[in-house]
Amino acid sequence: MSDLKMNSILGAGLAAVLGVMLVGVGAETLIHPNYPEKAAYLPEVALEGPTTEGPTGPPDFGLLFADAAGLEALVARGERVHAQCVSCHTFDAGGANGIGPNLHDVFGRAVASHGGFDYSDPMRAHGGAWDYLALNDFLTSPGTVVRGTKMAFAGIRNDQDRVALIAFLRSISPNNVPLPAPLPAAVPATTEGEAPAEGAAAPAAPAPPG
């Protein structure tokens, strides 16, 4: 191939590349993109599903445990829940202590009182007895209720599982702890001109002028 023909081919290729570049520059000059620094509209996205609310108070043990059929179901569920505790505790009468103390009679007994177990100083200083509410609070978050406890357990946040476990502990304990009275039922508030809910006491009528 002669040098003249080679130069012609290279010149044609170079001219094509320059032509494409000139077209791109011209297009950008005619249509110049202009993006704002901030978006003019930011859509608000609502989170679906129920919102998490704070605690509404302790379980109504007086109501829950007074129902014999319901209590039986709770005990059965609590027996299943207690399976997560057997790696550290025994539950049979006279059972040996493990990583934690034997819990056969824990319901109703004084805190840090089981013989032969070396309790932590914070647990000894906690005081009180393991009744309905004390167990409920401790089992919700042991490290929060007794700071410094040796019990490395995050707690049972599910209310039904926790109440069921307390029902199971109560069922195997020889200690008799009276059932608390049911909590008073809350009376829903009414707006002006609205009749009170069924079963709620109607507001007293104003006295006539004397």
Look at the chain and report how many structural domains it folds into: 1
Per the structure, the complete domain to which residue 80 belongs is given by 61-172
Confidence class of residue 160 from pLDDT cuts 50, 70 and 90? very high
In a domain, 104, yes or no: yes
Asked if residues 133 and 141 have their Cβ atoms less than 8 Å apart, the reply is no
Look at the pTM and tell me if it is higher than 0.75: no
Cβ atoms within 10 A of the Cβ of 35, count?
Answer: 5
In a domain, 11, yes or no: no
In a domain, 21, yes or no: no
Distance CA 176, CA 202 (A): 40
In a domain, 130, yes or no: yes
Q: Range with the lowest mean pLDDT among 33-42, 111-120, 169-178?
A: 33-42
By C-alpha distance, which of 102, 110, 127, 126 is closest to 177?
A: 110
Cβ atoms within 10 A of the Cβ of 81, count?
Answer: 22
In a domain, 43, yes or no: no
In a domain, 157, yes or no: yes
The per-residue pLDDT for 194 is 58
The per-residue pLDDT for 21 is 62
Task: For residue 185, give both structure tokens.
Answer: 């039922």
Provide the mean pLDDT of the chain.
Answer: 78
Three-class secondary structure of residue 152 per DSSP: coil
In a domain, 134, yes or no: yes
In a domain, 120, yes or no: yes
Asked if residues 100 and 88 have their Cβ atoms less than 8 Å apart, the reply is yes
Q: At 82, which CATH number?
A: 1.10.760.10
Mean per-residue pLDDT for 173-191?
80
